[in-house]
Amino acid sequence: MRIPLDRSGVVPLWRQIERFIRAEIESGALPAGTRIPSSRALATALRVSRITVDNAYLSLATDGLVVASPGRGTFVASIGPPRPLAEPAHWPVWQQAMTAGAASTDAADVEPPPDVISFTGVGDPRLFPTREIALTIGDVIRADGADAFTYGDGANGHRPLRQTVTHLLASQGVHTTPDRVVITSGSQQALFLACSALLQPGDTVVAEQPTYDHALALFDALGVGVVGVDVDTDGMDVDGLEATVIEHGPKLIYTIPTFQNPTGASLSTARRQRLVDLARAHDIPIVEDDFVGDLRYEGRAQAPLKALDERGDVLYIGSFSKMLMPGIRVGYLVGDGPIVDRVSALKRATDLSTSNLMQRVLDRYLTVGRYQTHLRRSIRSYRQRRDAMVAALGRHTPDIALTAPAGGLFLWATLPDGVGATALRAAAMRRGVDVTPGTRFYADPSLGERNVRLNFAARDEQQIDTGVARLARAIADLR
């Protein structure tokens, strides 16, 4: 056993030996049952007196870490049976208090049966460019070495990636510079940072109604109230918005203008301009969540709100989760003015940086042109799947009403009279298909009982047809 000893230091030699062996035992490097050297052998090896080693072993034995077996030697003691896990009845008061506000188990959290066809979730993992990303990880490590494993360029993110993001955005009419881009761990973090920078508990946010469920959860976690503005086939009802703004004095407008989650609706061009004008007139920041803007299956691309923003009223949030894959956890926020530094300071305070390795991998992947090829392939598949689902719903469930979205991942279906979303989800699970009940997307869940959200992107055409047929049987079960 090699034990480094500081012979001129203030810590006695026996204590240094005892600490070293203790650390080895606690880290598992010396497992239970290991025979440790005899005190005579160790004393000779370390060139210390035998009493010094005996003192160290005595201290370890007193703490139950080693046991001496006469005639056999000294062994690392077994740690004993694991302590039982803390049970609710023994939790401290502060833990017990937390259960009071804990959310009850939502139907959507129920574990689905193994052969269920799920129309929940986001993109199709079978289409992820897993092999190409694996190769790119190797390329980055070969090219950048240990630099890829440092924190990287600070809180705003890897500069070349920020530069690449500005190029992607320029092709959509958003002109910005790398120092106005903050790379985040997914767009969810961008949303969190923007809201944390702009809101105080008790403030009000305006959002589409229905809206993205994890945005609602975030507003709730921040102690912020939400006022909903209805959505039609042209997106948020911007006429209704003005009255809402005057009545509630919101501190932020949260919107998903393109292929909205959950409705799939896109804000018309005229409404986009009106929304930006309205925010400017009332001096309210807009957080624009463009989570699937590139997944367009038909029609002309629409400029993001950020492209219409002349003053810095719009904070634009983007992500590679849906266009590429969510597990890389890279998103970004684009702003103008002091808000960028504020977001960047909050980013640093919360997680220091987004994975430097993944930022470099993503940047390399984006710049060699593979991304555009992947995007085209995904668009082709998802378009076919959307069409397959619309056709299957028409065949199997003609009494469900829907508008086919021009892009994105979701179909928002209005259920026949007398069929509620919560009951339908349970019935659908029994029939072997999973859907997301509309209740998830409203601050007042009861408003979502008439709808379900169906993800058409994650299943192939055969699964879509079988799943929709099962859904039709579940609807029939409830009648």
187 part of the interface to ligand PLP, by CB under 6 A: yes
In whole angstroms, how close is the CB of 279 to ligand PLP at the nearest point?
19
- 437 is a contact residue toward ligand PLP (CB under 6 A): no
Instruction: Quickly count: other Cβ atoms within 10 Å of residue 477's Cβ.
Output: 15
Nearer to ligand PLP, 319 or 354 (CB): 319
Q: If binding is defined by CB under 6 A, does position 152 make contact with ligand PLP? A: no
355 lies in the binding site for ligand PLP (CB under 6 A): no
**Do residues 269 and 302 touch, judged by C-beta distance below 8 A?**
yes
| Interaction mask 213-252, ligand PLP, x per CB under 6 A | ----------------------------------------
Residue selected from 331, 420, 448, 467 as contacting ligand PLP according to rule CB under 6 A: 331
Closest CA to 263 of 402, 412, 393: 412
Residue 398 burial class via C-beta count within 10 angstroms: exposed 0-12, middle 13-18, buried 19 and up: exposed
Q: Which one, 186 or 264, has the nearer CB to ligand PLP?
A: 186
> Using the rule CB under 6 A, is 291 a contact of ligand PLP?
yes
Q: How far apart are CA 144 and CA 138, in angstroms?
A: 10
Cis peptide before 262 (omega within 30 of 0): yes
* 256 is a site residue for ligand PLP (CB under 6 A): yes
Residues 433/470, Cβ–Cβ less than 8 Å? yes
The pattern of x and - marking residues 102 through 141 that bind ligand PLP according to CB under 6 A reads --------------------x-------------------
Closer of 326 and 437 to ligand PLP (Cβ): 326
Nearer to ligand PLP, 188 or 204 (CB): 188
Q: Give the N- to C-terminal CA distance of the chain in Å, as an integer.
A: 76
Of 65 and 218, which CB lies nearer to ligand PLP in the complex structure?
218
Q: Which of 123, 157, 186, 235 binds ligand PLP (CB under 6 A)?
A: 186
Asked if residue 311 lies in contact with residue 328, where contact means CB atoms within 8 angstroms, the answer is no
Position 257 contacts ligand PLP (CB under 6 A): no
Instruction: Choose between 197 and 419: whose C-beta lies nearer to ligand PLP.
Output: 197
Q: Which residue is it, tokens 């500005």?
A: 166
Q: Which of 282, 360, 331, 341 is nearest to 183 (CA)?
A: 331
Q: Provide the minimum distance between the beta carbon of 109 and ligand PLP in the complex, in angstroms, as a whole number.
A: 16
To which residue do tokens 């188990």 refer?
105
Task: Tell me whether residue 318 or residue 467 sits nearer to ligand PLP (CB atom).
Answer: 318
Query: By CB under 6 A, is residue 266 in contact with ligand PLP?
Result: no
Tokens of 474: 């579940």
Choice between 255 and 397, CB closer to ligand PLP = 255
Helices (H), 266-369: 269-282, 339-351, 356-367
Among 74, 136, 266, 319, binds ligand PLP (CB under 6 A): 319
Query: Which residue in this structure is represented by tokens 């004393």?
Result: 43
* Length of the chain, in residues: 479
Minimum distance of ligand PLP from residue 296's CB (angstroms) = 16
Contact (Cβ atoms closer than 8 angstroms) between residue 258 and residue 407: yes
Q: Rounded CA gap, 330 and 356, in Å?
A: 10
Determine if 17 is a binding residue for ligand PLP (CB under 6 A): no
Q: Does 289 bind ligand PLP (CB under 6 A)?
A: yes
Question: Alpha carbon of 402 to those of 304, 326, 453: distances in Å?
Answer: 25, 27, 10
Q: Is 261 in the site for ligand PLP (CB under 6 A)?
A: yes
- Closest residue to ligand PLP, judged by C-beta, is 186
Number of residues interacting with ligand PLP: please give it, by CB under 6 A.
13
CB of 384 to ligand PLP, least distance (A): 22
Rounded Cα distance between 190 and 254, Å, is 12
What is the C-alpha separation between 314 and 334, in angstroms, rounded? 9
212 near ligand PLP, rule: CB under 6 A? yes
Residues in contact with ligand PLP by the rule CB under 6 A:
122, 186-188, 212, 256, 261, 289, 291, 319, 321, 326, 331
